Amino acid sequence: MIKTLQKYLLLVIILIAAQLLVFDNIEFSGYINPYVYILFIIILPFEIPKALLLILAFALGLIIDLFLGTPGVHSSATVLMAFARPYILGVFAPRDGYQTGTNPRIAYYGLEWFVKYAATLVIIHHLTLFYLEVLSLDHFFNTFLRILASATFTLLILVLSQFLVFRK
Amino acid sequence: MRKLLRFIIQNHFIILFLLIESFSLFLLFSRNPYQKFTFYRFSHSIINRIASRISNLEDYFSLYHENRALVEENTKLYNQLASSYPGTTSDTIYRLYNGTSGTYLYIPARIINNTVNNQYNYITINKGSRDQIEPDMAVICNNGIVGYTKSVSKNFTVVLPALNLDFIVSGKIKKSGYYGPVSWNGVNANLLTLVDIPHHVTLNQGDTVITSGYGGIFPEGYLIGTIEDFRLKGGNYYEINIKLSSDFRRLDNVQVIRHHAKQELDSLQNLLLND
């Protein structure tokens, strides 16, 4: 239990550091702004209490917000994503449900399942985030393009990280 | 209380989500200058729109009193006009027998009962003999003629409107001056019929038809309507459909026209007839 806690604590620190030090510095014509810190919310265990999920998401989003100087933007998007997570998990549940002792990861449920599940959450998060940032529908398609590009890139990083960093 | 508690526990996920999310959005809109500005601009535009709707609505509530005031004002102006220019129309007889107080007196009234669906429609107004109304006085509204008074009680008057098969008024085509009887055919609540216009008169759709002043009830020059269509009947005379300028379905305020010298005129004309 303590070990699991330590593992997730380490994970969140690494993710925040990676987000702030690496991924926020990608300047690819302004179209690609990946936000990989949400991996933390995505791969939290199935059994986590829903309320805790929301609180963790809010805390995570707020930390990112504080570092980036955009209070509320990331926390709103992350909390909304965390709120959607149980429902998305329900939609993509395997026929015989999720096994106890497993996590929502490629290692347990395969690449296809993970891509579907993570892509939905990433899209929810990025849609909210980008439109809250722009807060107008004036450049709707431009923003939408940015969302698609960034979400694709984020998803790519998330999938790769599953193979490179996280073994079971 | 226990039910409330149970409700909160059952829905704690959604409630917590709403709380946290609204707090995040509060942060978003209060701590970021750009978002704050956009939010205020948006909310102001909405609030302004709502405020203007409310003020429109409030205008409606005062509409009744506004209307009353306008009617009073109209009556005053009519009376001023009538007394400043006694006998503005061509009827010199009236002018001779009329003193300085004006040929016509306009009495404002309000319709309290009105039908348009029958063959013999009647209108009841809220003024009667107490307000100097007598039978056979012209009734007009701001858009044109309405009818004439038929029977009068102390406080009420029954008006025989243009939409009654018994109604007849002498109408004149304003452009050419030809006149003939105008009556209702009982079919369409928007159309009156003008007959006895000779076939050599040029008519156009949309020509104005006004009261001619003959017949003694209606003074000259009040709008009846415009020509809708016309056809020759029997080869010599036109039968003209006139589109009524007054909308009888929406009548509300009317003016009754009292003709000061009418009795005198009538008795004179009857004298000639009886001879």
pLDDT digits (tens, 9 = 90+) for B123-136: 888 888 888 888 88
Q: How far apart are CA B172 and CA B196, in angstroms?
A: 11
Interface test with B, best of A70, A85, A125, A139 (most B CBs within 10 A): A70
Q: Is residue A136 within a helix (H) or strand (E), and if so which, with residue range? A: none
Tokens of B183: 């009556």
Nearest by CB to B16, from A51, A61, A72: name it: A51
Residue B261 confidence (pLDDT): 75
Residue B84 confidence (pLDDT): 52
B91: confidence class by pLDDT, cuts 50, 70, 90: very low
Asked if B38 lies within 8 A of A136 by C-beta distance, the reply is yes
Q: How far apart are CA B82 and CA B258, in angstroms?
A: 11
Q: Which residues contact B83 (CB under 8 A, 6 or more apart)?
A: B100, B101, B102
Tokens of B193: 């019929």
Tokens of A155: 């998803």
Q: Give residue B213's region: left, alpha or beta (phi > 0; psi -120 to 50).
A: left
**Chain A residues within 8 A of B26 when measuring between CB atoms:** 72
Tokens of B262: 């009418």
A135 touches B: beta carbon within 8 Å? yes
> Average of pLDDT values for B186-191?
85
**Chain B residues within 8 A of A136 when measuring between CB atoms:** 38
Which CATH superfamily hosts domain B66-274? Rod shape-determining protein MreC, domain 1 (2.40.10.340)
What number of CA atoms fall less than 13 Å from residue A22's CA on the CB side?
12
Predicted ipTM beyond 0.95: no
DSSP track, B95-142: HHH--SS-SEEEEEEEEEEE--SSSB--EEES--GGGT--SS-EEEET
Which residue numbers in chain A have pLDDT < 70? 1, 27-30, 165-168
For residue B79, pLDDT beyond 60: yes
Number of helices followed by number of strands (H, E) in chain A: 6, 0
Global pTM reads 0.50
* Chain B nearest-CA residue for A83: B17
What phi and psi values does residue A42 have, to the nearest 5 degrees? -65, -40
Asked if A54 lies within 8 A of B32 by C-beta distance, the reply is no
Q: Which residues contact B23 (CB under 8 A, 6 or more apart)?
A: A58
Q: What angle do CA A103, A109, A113 make, to 5 degrees?
A: 115
Question: By the 8 A CB rule, do B242 and B182 touch?
Answer: yes
Three-state SS at B222: coil
Nearest by CB to A51, from B12, B24, B38: name it: B12
d(CA B38, nearest CA chain A) in Å: 7
A71 touches B: beta carbon within 8 Å? yes
What phi and psi values does residue B171 have, to the nearest 5 degrees? -110, 155
Question: By the 8 A CB rule, do B249 and B116 touch?
Answer: yes
In this structure, the number of other CB atoms found within 10 A of the CB of residue B274 comes to 6
A50 touches B: beta carbon within 8 Å? yes
Domains of chain B, by residue range, sit at 2-60, 66-274
The residue that leads in pLDDT, A83 or B62, is A83
* Chain A nearest-CA residue for B11: A51
**Chain A residues within 8 A of B21 when measuring between CB atoms:** 76, 79-80, 83
Tokens of B70: 């306008």
In this structure, the number of other CB atoms found within 10 A of the CB of residue A130 comes to 20
Question: By the 8 A CB rule, do B103 and B82 touch?
Answer: yes
How many beta-carbon contacts under 8 Å exist across A and B?
59
For residue B30, pLDDT beyond 90: no
Query: Would you give the distance in Å from CA A23 to the centre of its chain?
Result: 13
Query: Would you give the distance in Å from CA B35 to the centre of its chain?
Result: 52
Asked if B24 lies within 8 A of A83 by C-beta distance, the reply is no
d(CA A54, nearest CA chain B) in Å: 7
The residue that leads in pLDDT, A80 or B106, is A80
The residue that leads in pLDDT, B183 or B44, is B183
For residue B162, pLDDT beyond 50: yes
Question: By the 8 A CB rule, do B13 and A54 touch?
Answer: yes
